[in-house]
Amino acid sequence: MTNSDTTNGTMNDDAQAPNETAEKDTSDWVTGGEPMTGPQRSYLQTLAQEAKRDLPDGLTKAEASDLIDELQQETGRGQG
């Protein structure tokens, strides 16, 4: 691709590919202080069980995301 805009059918080098998501530090999340979501809780329960670890109560969305990353490393899950 060239460094041109999308008007001629190409993406510029600064454009993000459609299937990529920008990773933002969890401390910068606007909603990071809200309680974790149901899907986060469910996945964390699975990961914690596999890692033989207890799941802390009252996690925020950001804390849950960080713990998911940690437990994925520990269990080998989520690695493509």
Lowest mean pLDDT among 2-11, 33-42, 52-61: 2-11
Integer-rounded Cα Rg, in Å, for the chain is 18
Cα angle at 74 between 27 and 24, to 5 degrees? 20
**Number of domains the chain is built from:** 1
Position 34 pLDDT exceeds 70: yes
Tell me which residue range forms the domain holding 51.
Answer: 34-80
Nearest to 72 by CA among 56, 57, 51, 41: 51
Regarding pTM above 0.85, the answer is: no
Task: Report yes or no on 22 lying in a domain.
Answer: no
Task: Report yes or no on 62 lying in a domain.
Answer: yes
Handedness of CA 79, 75, 47, 59 (dihedral sign): negative
Position 59 pLDDT exceeds 80: yes
DSSP conformation letters of 37-68? PHHHHHHHHHHHHHHT-PPPSS-BHHHHHHHH
Query: Rounded distance, CA 46 to CA 25, Å?
Result: 24
Task: Report yes or no on 74 lying in a domain.
Answer: yes
Task: Report yes or no on 75 lying in a domain.
Answer: yes
Task: Report yes or no on 70 lying in a domain.
Answer: yes
